[in-house]
Amino acid sequence: TTWTVTVTAAKLTDGATVVLSFQDMTAVEDANDMRRDFVANVSHELRTPLTSLLGFIETLRGPASEDRAAQTRFLGIMEQEAERMHNLVEDLMSLNRVEGQARIKPTLQTNLCGLIDDVLAAMKPRADAAGVTLISEQPSGAVSILADREQMWQVIANLVENAVKYGTKSGSVGGVVTVRLCAPTHEPALLQTGVRLSVIDQGDGIAAHHIARLTHRFYRVDSHRSREVGGTGLGLAIVKHIINRHRGRLRISSVVGQGTEFTAFLPASTEKATESSS
């Protein structure tokens, strides 16, 4: 613990009185440490692809200036590196938008069924390329909650994208990713917890000691794999902030060798849908 001690001397008629005031600076120092760590992480994440880009530019100007095949290959790698930086900047901006925002009560009804269908349609090309089958399980009829549609899109998209990226067992191709939606109207047990939205994969799973830190910024179980699949290490931090902002809760359960389930519990809407954002 770090203390700041302020000494004030007050001269009274019967002599001098010294006043000492103590202030615990631990929280301030912790915040400074976190800020420094964050800046160091961002710099590191940007420096790696930038160094690579600069290296390739030099090679293209010099040794590879006459080699068409090498130029095509290097430009491909440079595009990937630029995309990596682009993803990082986009994720940083998203995180900045949702972090620190007060818990708000959105006013627009969002139909989660339609939203899930839209996200899965957008993710299909990526899943097809990875040999992953996307399955949607939802109750019949609309399940609407008061939510920011764009942010909910991001939650579902980040979780499905991760399931596609990491949900394939090592050494094999493909798998199944299920997005399951349950609502209190169909399952009375959910009256307490609200709407339950799960993204389930059949990948290698995550060892228990990693689980609590998965939503920390830049935390990765396997950095090499994350970078290879274009991860920024910010996806789950963004997911957690958005869910918190909606007064919800994120649960992560995983069995090594069997797969992982990310579940968002979101307050069910008690109001009749008057407006619709979906």
The pair of three-digit structure tokens given for residue 202, joined into one six-digit string: 């059949």
For residue 198, the surrounding DSSP H or E stretch is strand 195-200
Q: Which is nearer to ligand ADP, 111 or 226 (CB)?
A: 226
Residue 198 found at the interface with ligand ADP (CB under 6 A): no
- Residue 30 CB neighbours (<10 A): 11
Applying the rule CB under 6 A, the residues between 6 and 65 that interact with ligand ADP are none
> Of 108 and 221, which CB lies nearer to ligand ADP in the complex structure?
221
Q: Which is nearer to ligand ADP, 155 or 214 (CB)?
A: 214
- Asked if residue 138 binds ligand ADP (CB under 6 A), the reply is no
Q: Which of 126, 180, 220, 247 binds ligand ADP (CB under 6 A)?
A: 220
Q: Which is nearer to ligand ADP, 92 or 183 (CB)?
A: 92
Q: Reduced to 3 states, what is the DSSP secondary structure of residue 201?
A: coil
Among 163, 179, 242, 243, binds ligand ADP (CB under 6 A): 163
173 burial via Cβ count (<10 Å: 0-12, 13-18, 19+): exposed
Distance CA 122, CA 212 (A): 30
Q: Does 176 bind ligand ADP (CB under 6 A)?
A: no
Min CB(58)–ligand ADP separation in Å: 29
CB of 213 to ligand ADP, least distance (A): 9
46 Ramachandran zone, left/alpha/beta (phi>0; psi -120 to 50): alpha
Closer CB to ligand ADP, 143 or 233, in the complex = 233
Burial of 118 per CB tally in 10 Å (0-12, 13-18, 19+)? middle
Among 222, 247, 249, 253, binds ligand ADP (CB under 6 A): 222
CB of 12 to ligand ADP, least distance (A): 60
Structure tokens at 146: 């008061």
Tell me: does residue 236 bind ligand ADP (CB under 6 A): yes
Instruction: Quote the least distance from Cβ 68 to ligand ADP, whole Å.
Output: 34
How many angstroms separate the first and last alpha carbons of the chain?
A: 50
> In the bound complex, what is the minimum distance in angstroms from residue 35's beta carbon to ligand ADP?
20
Q: Cβ neighbours of residue 40 under 8 Å, at least 6 residues apart?
A: none
> Is residue 232 close enough to count as binding ligand ADP by CB under 6 A?
yes
Helix (H) or strand (E) holding 59: helix 26-61
Runs of H (alpha helix) within 99-182: 112-130, 149-166
Nearer to ligand ADP, 145 or 239 (CB): 239
Binding region for ligand ADP (CB under 6 A): 162-163, 166-167, 201, 203, 206, 214, 219-222, 226, 231-237, 260
